[in-house]
């Protein structure tokens, strides 16, 4: 029992049926007496579509307006997921980055988190409510919306785990763990039960998008083990943690 963070990526929340599967993970954890904080990405290819629509207008958008646009997808997911949970009789409340707030620097499109105010989350958890946070986004101290870089919801989840001193962080995705190589393009890829922060940072930098590089760097800094699991398939997944090698 304690604070559990569960993050679900775009393919895990792609449609209503999948959102209901996500609800199963959340409510199962909640029913065990845990306080649950959920981080979600935009549904399916929503962020890609927003960028395509941006390109119909301009190749050189203002960086500020780019972030206002591409952060929109996560707002759709948090509200829908809260509604699904409410329908099932659970009290759930959603927050965008600015509502907490999650303060970042002003490097639009690739911002870093400076500080998270956890007051609202803790108040809701103490009322036994499930908290759903939009991944990928924050706000500068001057009030401009920012995004953390493509795949950045992973980083939101790790940062929340660090600030909330969460007992466990799960990153649920469309593969059942971290593999030696991308299992979707290499049938010989081997699933790893565990991997060190350093090795995972190297893999992410070399394109293993299963975890956002900044998320693993942050996990290493705050010593937050990351449990990578499949949303759809049972299994132990992979733990990314401090290892001697």
Residues that bind ligand ADP (CB under 6 A): 9-12, 41, 151, 173-175, 178-179, 181-184, 203, 208-210
Q: Which of ligand ADP, Mg ion, ligand ASP, none does 150 bind, CB closer than 5 to 8 A by kind?
A: ligand ASP
Nearest distance from residue 61's CB to ligand ADP, in Å?
Answer: 23
Identify which of residues 44 and 65 has a Cβ nearer to ligand ADP in the complex: 44
Evaluate whether 145 touches 98 at the Cβ level (below 8 Å): yes
- Find the part of the chain contacting Mg ion (CB under 5 A) among 2-10, 46-54, 55-63, 234-242: 2-10
CA distance 183 to 177: 10
167 CB neighbour count, 10 Å cutoff:
13
Number of residues in the chain = 245
Q: Which residue is nearest to ligand ADP (CB)?
A: 9
CB-nearer residue toward ligand ADP: 71 or 173: 173
Lookup: tokens for 79 = 């509200």
**Is residue 151 part of the contact set for Mg ion (CB under 5 A)?**
yes
Q: How far is the CB of 75 from ligand ADP (least distance, A)?
A: 17
Nearer to ligand ASP, 125 or 228 (CB): 228
46 sits in which H/E element: helix 46-57
Residue 152 contacts which entry, ligand ADP, ligand ASP, Mg ion, none (Cβ below 5-8 A, type-dependent): ligand ASP
> Distance (Å, rounded) from C-alpha 151 to C-alpha 20?
22
Q: Please, which residue, 9 or 101, has the CB nearer to Mg ion?
A: 9
Strands (E) across the chain are located at: 3-8, 35-40, 92-95, 102-104, 113-116, 130-134, 137-139, 145-147, 168-173, 194-196, 226-230, 238-241
Q: Find which of ligand ASP, Mg ion, ligand ADP, none residue 184 binds, CB within 5 to 8 Å per kind.
A: ligand ADP
How far is the C-alpha of 213 from the C-alpha of 229, rounded, in Å?
17
Rounded CA-CA distance 75/234 in Å is: 28
Nearer to ligand ASP, 125 or 159 (CB): 159
CB of 133 to Mg ion, least distance (A): 16
Cα distance between residue 48 and residue 46, in whole Å:
5
Q: Which two tokens stand for residue 154?
A: 């992973």
Judged by beta carbon distances under 5 to 8 A according to partner kind, the member of ligand ASP, Mg ion, ligand ADP, none in contact with residue 210 is: ligand ADP
**Interface with ligand ASP by CB under 6 A: which residues?**
9-10, 41-42, 47, 73, 135-136, 150-153
């Amino acid at each position: 029992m304690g604070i559990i963070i569960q993050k679900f990526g775009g393919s895990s929340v792609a449609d209503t049926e999948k959102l209901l599967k996500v609800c199963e993970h959340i409510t199962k954890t909640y029913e065990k007496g845990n306080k649950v904080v959920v981080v979600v990405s935009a549904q399916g290819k929503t962020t890609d579509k927003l960028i395509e629509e941006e390109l119909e207008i301009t190749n050189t958008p203002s960086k500020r307006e780019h972030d206002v646009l591409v952060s929109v997808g996560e707002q759709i997911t948090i509200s829908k997921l809260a509604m699904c949970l409410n329908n099932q009789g659970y009290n759930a409340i959603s927050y965008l980055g600015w509502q907490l707030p999650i303060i970042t620097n002003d490097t639009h499109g690739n911002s870093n988190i400076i500080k998270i105010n956890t007051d609202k989350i803790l108040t809701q958890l103490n009322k036994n409510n499930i908290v759903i946070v939009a991944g990928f986004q924050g706000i500068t101290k001057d009030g401009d919306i920012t995004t953390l870089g493509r795949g950045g919801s992973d980083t939101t989840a790790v940062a929340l785990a660090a600030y909330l001193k969460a007992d466990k962080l799960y990153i649920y995705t469309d593969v059942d763990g971290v593999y030696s190589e991308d299992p979707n393009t290499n049938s010989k890829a081997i699933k790893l039960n565990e991997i060190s922060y350093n090795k995972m940072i190297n893999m992410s930098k070399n394109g293993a998008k299963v975890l956002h590089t900044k998320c693993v760097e942050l996990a290493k800094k705050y010593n937050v083990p990351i449990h990578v699991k499949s949303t759809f398939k049972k299994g132990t997944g992979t733990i990314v943690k401090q290892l001697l090698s």
